Amino acid sequence: MSTSSYLTISIILFSIGTIGFVVRRNAIVVFMCVELMLNAVNLAFVAFARHHGSLEGEAAVFFVMVVAAAEAAVGLAIIIAVFRNHRSIETSDADHLRL
């Protein structure tokens, strides 16, 4: 497969993540969408690394994975804190702070 096919898949995954982030209201699902976006970027990095024949892009993927893991830890902790205070993880219920 050529680089452009990998890139197309990556863009499709990224778009699904973006749309899901905007449309969905459940905090866990929204969080999964962000993870999907990060993994779409990983795919792009690996595809480009193969295209250029350089290792830099593949090394970047490891760092992105670490960031995604840290994000999971922090994000789930925050979601639990919100659940304790609001008794809900719907993002539309977290509307105490208003304009």
Partner 1 sequence: MEIISLADLYSISPLLFLTLGAFGILIVDVFSKESWLRASYTSIFILAALSFAFQLADVAAPGKTAFWDAIYVDSFSIYFQVLILVGALLTVMLSHGRIAQEGVRSLGEFYALFLMSTIGAIIFVSAAEMVTLFLGLEIMSMALYCMCGSAVHSKDSAESALKYFFLGSFSSAFMLFGIALMYGVSGTLSLAESAAVLSSSNSGLVPIAVGFVLIGFVFKIGAVPLHFWAPDVYQGAPTTVTAYMACVVKAAAVGAALRVLWTSFGSDTLFGIWASAVWIIAALTMVVGNLVALRQRSLKRMLAYSSIAHAGYIMVAFLAPHQGGGSAVLFYIAVYTAMTLGAFGVVLAVASPHSSEPDADDIHRFQRLGYRNPVLAGCMTLFLLSLAGLPPGLAGLLGKFYVFNAAVQANYVGLAIIGVLCSAVSCYYYLRVIVAMYFIPKEESDSDSLAPLAPVSLPFAGVIGICAVAVVTLGLFPSILHDGAQFVIENF
Q: Residue 45 to residues 32, 85, 88: CA-CA distances in angstroms?
A: 20, 39, 37
For the bound state, the minimum distance from the C-beta of residue 80 to partner 1, rounded and expressed in Å, comes to 9
Closest approach, Cβ 1 to partner 1, in A, equals 15
Which positions ≥6 away from 10 have C-beta within 8 Å? Answer: 40, 41, 43, 44, 47
Cα angle 40-32-16, degrees, rounded to a multiple of 5: 50
Note whether 13 binds partner 1 by CB under 8 A. Answer: no
What is the rounded distance in angstroms from the CA atom of residue 18 to the CA atom of residue 11?
A: 10
Contact 25, 90 (CB under 8 A): yes
Q: Which of 16, 26, 32, 51 binds partner 1 (CB under 8 A)?
A: 51
Binding flag, residue 75, partner 1 (CB under 8 A): yes
> What is the contact surface with partner 1 in residues (CB under 8 A)?
3, 7, 14, 17, 21, 27, 30-31, 34, 37-38, 40-41, 44-45, 47-48, 51-52, 54, 56-57, 59-60, 63-64, 67, 70-71, 74-75, 77-79, 81-82, 84-86, 91, 94, 96-99
